[in-house]
Amino acid sequence: MAEVALDRESGGGPLRAMGGVIATPELATLRTAGSQAPGFGIRGWIRVLLADIRRDWQLYVLLAPMIIWFAVFLYTPMYGLQIAFKQYSLFRGIDGSPWVGFSNFVTLFNNEYFLRAIKNTLLISFYSLVFAFPMPVILALMFNEIQHNGFRKIAQTITYLPHFISVVIIAGLVINFLSPSSGIVNVLLAKMGFEKIYFLTIPDYFRPIFIGSNIWKEAGFESIIYLAAIAGINPALYESARIDGASRWQMMRYITIPSILPTVVIMLIIRIGNMIEVGFEYIVLLYQPATFETADVIATFIYRAGLQNNQYSIGAAAGLFNAVVAFILVYGANRLSRRVSQTSLW
């Protein structure tokens, strides 16, 4: 086929991997100019795709496991999303259950616990944004200022390590540290003459504990991206600044921080896009009914409603709501990122 030959001449490596999507105007022109022009619309697209698959079937074989994984575990279960609009019964099955329109959503939004979960989700995300988001940036700036190579490596490794510990173990550590009987915090409090505090049962302490331990676990690892951004700064800028008379602090202020700002902005936008996603497992491991008031988030609400209380339709409705909001946030963040930093995910 003429288009195949043209494709090869244009060196369209990445194009092939894109399943026949015409990615460059030049190629589009070449293709439609070919003797076997595929035409427009879905049929043309399918024809190009089939031609691509025939030619580069090895690449598609490599891609297949991922596509199958998506299809089986992410797209097929979406069929079940319809129970958000049904009065689902285990015995009647998904198809047999009667449609109830938006009544599950009405129930949900009349449920004060769900509204509380939304509030908690947003508050935990907001406090994380305020307190946890700047930490890796600050850490990276501090690592960058360490002059002794060996000491810097040790400091970095120590801060990276908690990231590799399972969240279950982290929760275990936190529970142990804060235990009223043998936890080191309470032991110290007792030694200093204070009363022991059962931290994990007091709602007011939940958010600081959750966010604080998350900072301890992730800040070091997240600082890698900022360290990479710092490593990309032209060293001549610092030399030039030294000659211009800048102190180390001024170099950080006038060179390092402005240079990594685009990265910070992108990370911030991505974080805002994920605001509705709060570490579900970690909350489930740390919270208890006494702290639901501040700890119960949308994800834990769905888990309890859907799986523990067998309110499948309510759980599905809450999950769908969560997904729609998350989608809007991610989409919005992506558009914002494209506008602010000319970088976007799609």
Partner 1 sequence: MSSVHVRDLKKSYGHAPVLHGISLDIEDGEFVILVGPSGCGKSTLLRMIAGLEGVTAGEIRIGSRVVNNVPPKERDIAMVFQNYALYPHMTVAENMAFSLVLKRASKAEITQKVQQAAAILGLETMLDRHPKELSGGQRQRVAMGRAIVRDPKVFLFDEPLSNLDAKLRVQMRSEIKALHQRLKTTTIYVTHDQIEAMTMADRIVVMRGGVMEQMGTPLDLYDQPANLFVASFIGSPAMNQIPGSIGAKGFVADTGHVLPLPTSAVAQIGRSAVYGIRPEHMTLEPSGMPVRVKTVEPTGSETLLLTELSGPQTSIDITAVFRGRVAAAPGDTIHLQPDMAMVHLFDKETGHRIMA
- Residues lying near partner 1 in the complex (CB under 8 A): 234, 236-237, 239-246, 250, 254-255, 258-259, 261
Q: What's the closest the beta carbon of residue 270 comes to partner 1, in angstroms? A: 22
3-state secondary structure of 13: helix
- Start-to-end CA distance of the chain, whole Å, equals 31
Q: What's the closest the beta carbon of residue 148 comes to partner 1, in angstroms? A: 17
Q: What's the closest the beta carbon of residue 243 comes to partner 1, in angstroms? A: 5
Q: What's the closest the beta carbon of residue 301 comes to partner 1, in angstroms? A: 44
3-state secondary structure of 46: helix
Residues present in the chain in total: 346
**Angle made by CA atoms 73, 170, 141, in degrees to the nearest 5:** 95
Distance, in Å, from the CA atom of 254 to the CA atom of 246, rounded to the nearest integer, reads 9
Give the single-character DSSP code of 289.
G
Q: What's the closest the beta carbon of residue 81 comes to partner 1, in angstroms? A: 46
Q: What's the closest the beta carbon of residue 340 comes to partner 1, in angstroms? A: 14
Distance, in Å, from the CA atom of 88 to the CA atom of 8, rounded to the nearest integer, reads 54
Kindly tell me which of 250 and 343 has the beta carbon lying closer to partner 1.
250
233 neighbors 140 (Cβ within 8 angstroms) = no
Kindly tell me which of 237 and 272 has the beta carbon lying closer to partner 1.
237
Kindly tell me which of 310 and 343 has the beta carbon lying closer to partner 1.
343
* Tokens encoding 285: 């491991």
Distance, in Å, from the CA atom of 46 to the CA atom of 128, rounded to the nearest integer, reads 46
Kindly tell me which of 197 and 246 has the beta carbon lying closer to partner 1.
246
Kindly tell me which of 140 and 178 has the beta carbon lying closer to partner 1.
140
306 neighbors 315 (Cβ within 8 angstroms) = yes
Kindly tell me which of 60 and 254 has the beta carbon lying closer to partner 1.
254
Give residue for tokens 């331990």.
Answer: 213
